[in-house]
Amino acid sequence: MPIQTVNPATGELIRSFPELTPDEIEEKLALAHRVAPVWRATPIEQRCEVVRRAGQILERRKQDYGRIMTLEMGKPIASAIAEAVKCATVCAYYAEHAPQFLADEPVAAKNERSFVAFEPLGVVLAVMPWNFPFWQVMRFAAPALCAGNVGLLKHASNVPECALALEQLFEEAGAPGGVFQTLLIGSGAVEGVLSDPRVAAATLTGSEGAGRSVASIAGQHIKKTVLELGGSDPFIVMPSADLDAAVQTAVTARTINNGQSCIAAKRFIVHDSIADRFIERFVERMRSLVVGDPMDEHTNIGPLATAQIRDDLHDQVLRSVNAGARLMLGGAPRGGAGYYYEPTVLADVPRHAAAMREETFGPVAAIARARDVDEAIAIANDTPFGLGAAAWTRDANEIERFARGLAAGCVFINGMVASDARFPFGGVKASGYGRELSGFGIREFVNIKSIRIFAER
Ligand code: NAP
């Protein structure tokens, strides 16, 4: 993919960026390697202070950052501004808690002073996606930098302005040169960087294919990875649920970020006895969404990020209808400029259909029916993915069964799956491994070191 900013609302090419040459990549790697020991030796309170300042800048400039995100990938401007604010929150969170998360942990033992220490790994490569172009990066960078690691960002090729703004953010926050650098490179150059001995580890947020590729390169070189990959989250609705609240949340959960979120609810599994009412109300709400210019504050759904994503989504809808799904709403790209796709509802989608088996990245909802809790859980878990899951019910027994029975990194009961700095985030199965956020996230890229000092005999 060429590295360029294309406005997805119009299809207009705004700016192209040359890829870094091998010499330029080498310069950046050398700088990262040089600064890593300096940053590691900087007291954690000072490192946290840099991250805290980055958060303050994000809050102050949220409007500017929001506009860059919307211009490059098309999310509604209000969500883009909210994303900048959420990034500020994760900075404040780690600036406050990192010293305690990484404090030595004493281990009681006779005749020795023993403890576990948490030391940075060094240079960490972050391969990141365009869908939350600030948030995905910051939820890696804030804990990694607090922990004393140095970051190299290879961002998605369609969000170079976001990538450069993030590099500048850390510079302005007072990080020494090289502590956080953006590499404007294509995916083909990732192998060279990752296999370089100066790079200690990698984190990738993106598709399953990219995850497989990066993990296998890292495996060849025995380097730690965290993978945050795709999802096809179920959203289950049982008869005791507040149907109006469930429908309202279901529509938001499906269409947030123009439907391009890993934790968007993608498969709606509804109890037979309420399925017809659910479908009717769901279609009504989806129809009322405002699709249009993402820079307009009244827009609910902007364009998809690229023409390819729109075309892939349409192909999944056509294949699902061919497999027997009933098309209740939408089902086509919008004519005219930009990469818009109509809000789409598919009902009675068979389990083998594309919309149930694959990740749909856009405003397309697949609805299926279930006879009881067992069948709802079986359909929900019948997916290669396992990122998030939601279930709506007021029945205490059902709540317990869903909470424990759904195979995912998180389960939300009577709510919508969302990330939160205080809770670990990540998946099982093809959704990846490792965790971001909370105390678990900051310990992914550290050497968990046992230190045992024996009394002299
Ligand atoms: P993508 O195409 O996999 O790209 C993600 C990043 O990986 C980009 O920087 C991309 O670079 C790079 N890349 C792609 N193929 C690669 C390869 N073979 N080797 C090395 N790098 C490679 O994904 P996307 O379309 O940007 O993002 C959408 C996906 O991310 C969805 O599946 C979504 O569910 C997932 N996601 C997951 C989470 C989570 O936390 N689990 C969060 C957000 C998104 P180029 O742009 O240069 O190709």
Q: Which amino acid is at 57?
A: I
Mean pLDDT in residue range 307-327: 98
Atom of ligand 1 nearest to the CA of 127: 9
User: pLDDT tens digits, residue range 226-261?
Assistant: 999 999 999 999 999 999 999 999 999 999 999 999
Q: Which amino acid is at 426?
A: G
Distance from residue 93's CA to the centre of ligand 1 (Å): 26
State the CATH number of the domain containing residue 360: 3.40.309.10
Six token digits for residue 354: 């594309």
Q: What is the pLDDT at residue 1?
A: 85
Q: Are residues 223 and 241 in the same domain?
A: no
Q: Are residues 100 and 224 in the same domain?
A: yes
Across the chain, mean pLDDT equals 98
Within-domain flag for 219: yes
> From atom 26 of ligand 1, which residue's Cα is the shortest distance away?
129
Residue 9 predicted with pLDDT over 90: yes
Is the CB of residue 4 below 6 angstroms from any atom belonging to ligand 1? no
Q: What is the pLDDT at residue 111?
A: 86
Q: What is the pLDDT at residue 424?
A: 98
Quote the DSSP letter at residue 303. -
Q: Are residues 386 and 433 in the same domain?
A: no
Q: Are residues 280 and 403 in the same domain?
A: yes
4/110: higher pLDDT: 4
Give me the helix-helix angle, 135-146 and 77-101, nearest 10°.
20
User: pLDDT tens digits, residue range 352-379?
Assistant: 999 999 999 999 999 999 999 999 999 9
Residues 448/402, Cβ–Cβ less than 8 Å: no
CB atoms near residue 240 (< 10 Å): 15
Is the CB of residue 259 below 6 angstroms from any atom belonging to ligand 1? no
Q: Are residues 323 and 383 in the same domain?
A: yes
pLDDT confidence band for 456 (50 / 70 / 90): confident
Residues 301/258, Cβ–Cβ less than 8 Å: yes
Distance from residue 163's CA to the centre of ligand 1 (Å): 14
Within-domain flag for 142: yes
Q: Are residues 166 and 28 in the same domain?
A: yes
Is the CB of residue 205 below 6 angstroms from any atom belonging to ligand 1? yes
User: pLDDT tens digits, residue range 146-178?
Assistant: 999 999 999 999 999 999 999 999 999 999 999
Is the CB of residue 230 below 6 angstroms from any atom belonging to ligand 1? yes
Q: Are residues 404 and 429 in the same domain?
A: no
Residue 270 predicted with pLDDT over 70: yes
Query: Model pTM?
Result: 0.98
Within-domain flag for 420: no
Is the CB of residue 128 below 6 angstroms from any atom belonging to ligand 1? yes
Q: Are residues 434 and 372 in the same domain?
A: no
Within-domain flag for 89: yes
* pLDDT over 70, % of the chain: 100
Mean pLDDT in residue range 213-223: 98
> From atom 20 of ligand 1, which residue's Cα is the shortest distance away?
187
User: pLDDT tens digits, residue range 12-41?
Assistant: 999 999 999 999 999 999 999 999 999 999
| Among 283, 430, 276, 270, residue whose Cα is nearest residue 358 | 430
pLDDT confidence band for 426 (50 / 70 / 90): very high
| Cβ within 8 Å of residue 391, ≥6 positions away | 234, 235, 236, 237, 238, 376, 398, 399, 402, 403, 406, 411, 412, 413, 414
Q: Are residues 197 and 265 in the same domain?
A: no
Within-domain flag for 173: yes
Within-domain flag for 316: yes
Full residue range of the structural domain in which residue 327 is found: 233-413
Q: Are strands 112-120 and 105-107 parallel, antiparallel or unpaired?
A: antiparallel
List C-alpha distances in Å: 100 to 308, 451, 455. 45, 18, 27
User: pLDDT tens digits, residue range 86-95?
Assistant: 999 999 999 9
Q: Are residues 282 and 241 in the same domain?
A: yes
Q: Are residues 222 and 242 in the same domain?
A: no
User: pLDDT tens digits, residue range 340-351?
Assistant: 999 999 999 999
* Burial class (CB within 10 angstroms; exposed 0-12, middle 13-18, buried 19+) of 13: exposed
Q: Which amino acid is at 64?
A: D
Within-domain flag for 220: yes
* Burial class (CB within 10 angstroms; exposed 0-12, middle 13-18, buried 19+) of 288: exposed
Within-domain flag for 269: yes
Distance from residue 305's CA to the centre of ligand 1 (Å): 13
State the CATH number of the domain containing residue 185: 3.40.605.10
Please give the tally of structural domains in the chain: 2
Distance from residue 179's CA to the centre of ligand 1 (Å): 23
Q: What is the pLDDT at residue 394?
A: 98
| Among 327, 347, 363, residue whose Cα is nearest residue 276 | 347
Mutate to test the pocket of ligand 1, among 75, 127, 361 (most ligand atoms within 8 A of CB): 127
Q: What is the pLDDT at residue 457?
A: 64
Quote the DSSP letter at residue 425. B
**114-128 core/surface letters (b: 16 or more CB in 10 A; e: else):** bbeebebbbbbbbbb
How far the first Cα of the chain sits from its last, in Å, is 64
Mean pLDDT in residue range 108-125: 96
Q: Are residues 182 and 330 in the same domain?
A: no
CA dihedral sign of residues 266, 272, 274, 278: positive
Q: Which residue, chain included where needed, has tokens 């580890």?
A: 201
Residues identified as active-site: 228, 262
